[in-house]
Structure 1
Amino acid sequence: MELNKIEMLLEKYFEGQTSIHEEKELQKYFSSADVAPHLDQYTPIFGYFSQAATLELKQETQVPTIVKGRKRTKVWLSIAASIVVMLGAGTYVYFDKEVVSQDLGTYDNPEVAMKETQKALAMLSSHVNVGIESVICLEQYEDSKKLIFKQ
């Protein structure tokens, strides 16, 4: 084979543009004894392919009996974990229930309903007044800031 042709095929090979036929030519060249000295570095690549093609794989599979026991153990552990989680959630729900014994705001007597409504509105008003006092302080701060910085 011509050395220039082999070098061109090597370039194509490393760019990923060779065909199967061209790769077989490279394998044939590098498996021969007359490889150019500057191309010796590529011999192991193509030599490996020729060796790998002759190898036969003998694969024996044995299923150990321990695996079956582990699988059963996994199943039982996952079942036990599920039961523990369900018991925990049930216990939480059972003991977390607060007994709602508050009056829901329904009154038969209109006068009592009026008094309770006024009481609730007074409480709401006092909380709103606290919030308004805070806003007034902020307005005073803004006014004094405007005086100082004269915006």
Structure 2
Amino acid sequence: MELEIIKYKLQKYVDGESSLEDEKLLHDYFSGDDVAAELIPYRDLFTGLGELSTREDPLLEEALMDYILETEHREKTTYRRLWQTVSGIAAILLVALLVINYNDDKPGWKDTYSDPEQAYAEATLTLQYVAGKYQKGLAHLQPVRKLNEATAPMSTGFGLVNKGFQQIENLDRMNEKLKNE
């Protein structure tokens, strides 16, 4: 191989612009015995990288996975606790604000009468007024009461007819079930 090509590929490697093929070519060159004297300082770099890439530690992968899973679990637990704490504080503040606001909105009861006898007399008058209006409203319903009394015997007769129709409907349903089976 020409020394110029190796120098060019080495410069691309140092600049971080080399391809995997270039790196393999450089590794093969520096692993051989015929390395130019001016490039000997780079030999240890490429042979050391080659040794690192071929060495495998089976426990390393397992240890890394354990570390990742443990760290991930620890972060989830931390975030969950933080979220629960913040949610709890927010709920407490919301309840406290609602209680304070609810108690502030209630006006105090004020008595309209200071004398209990006067209050009793006024309540009696009000209830008599309401009772009078109620009786007056019921007076308009007298014709309806007479109509209900007149139709009472008919409703018992219709009750027997309705009961008979109900039994016929039950028989029809049973007949349909038997046909379907």
User: TM-score if structure 1 supplies the norm length?
Assistant: 0.45
- Higher relative helix content: 2
User: TM-score if structure 2 supplies the norm length?
Assistant: 0.39
Larger C-alpha radius of gyration, 1 or 2?
2
